[in-house]
Structure 1
Amino acid sequence: MYCLQWLIPVLLLPKPVNPALLYNHMMFVVLYLTGFFIERKPCTICSLVFLVALGLICYSGYDTCPFWGKCSSQGGDGEICESENAY
């Protein structure tokens, strides 16, 4: 379970508010996880616990998944990211 201390903080990274940085955030998470799994080769139990936690987070809401955000294009002005917690 030692390897979970390197995997769990990835789930706690806040997503950027700026829509231009969503792609960079997603690529950072994907490349970090790929490099971690290739270099450290975590045990099966740690991998399953992390994948189940990631699946539950992504299943609970589209906006909470660390791999994608809910953005929409608005004419020629660019993208606007919507959040469920908007005031």
Structure 2
Amino acid sequence: MYCLQCLLPVLLLPKPTEHNSFFIHRLFIILYLISFFLERKPCTICALVFVTAVFLLCQSGGYSCIFWKNCETS
């Protein structure tokens, strides 16, 4: 799990409340993840653990997902 030490804080970033800054936040997260996976090349198990954590976080509550904004809360 050593290769995930830079990815775990991504799950803890607070989401912005404004629509314009949410787009920039989502773009930053996606570019950070792409560059991390291209540069560090984490092992398959760590990548699966991270993807599973993101999937479970997004499925447990719409507002807690880091990739989209829940329309019901705005």
Q: Report if TM-score (shorter chain) is over 0.5.
A: yes
Runs of 4 or more off by more than 6 Å in structure 1? none
Q: Which runs of 5+ in 1 are unaligned?
A: 73-80, 83-87
Instruction: Kindly indicate whether residue 67 of structure 2 is the aligned counterpart of residue 56 of structure 1.
Output: no
Using the size of structure 1 for normalisation, the TM-score is 0.79
Higher relative contact order (CA 8 A, sep 6+): 2
The amino acid that maps onto 2:29 is V
What is the aligned-residue RMSD (CA, Å)? 1.4
Identity, in percent, stands at: 55
Query: Residue 42 of structure 1 corresponds to which residue in structure 2?
Result: 42
Query: Residue 3 of structure 1 corresponds to which residue in structure 2?
Result: 3
The amino acid that maps onto 2:8 is I
Using the size of structure 2 for normalisation, the TM-score is 0.91
Matched positions, count: 74
Contact 1:57–1:65 (CA<8 Å) still a contact in 2? yes
Contact 1:11–1:54 (CA<8 Å) still a contact in 2? yes
Distance across 1 between alignment mates of 2:14 and 2:27: 14
The amino acid that maps onto 2:66 is P
Name the one with the larger helix percent: 2
State the shift of 1:70 in Å: 2.2
Q: Which runs of 5+ in 2 are unaligned?
A: none
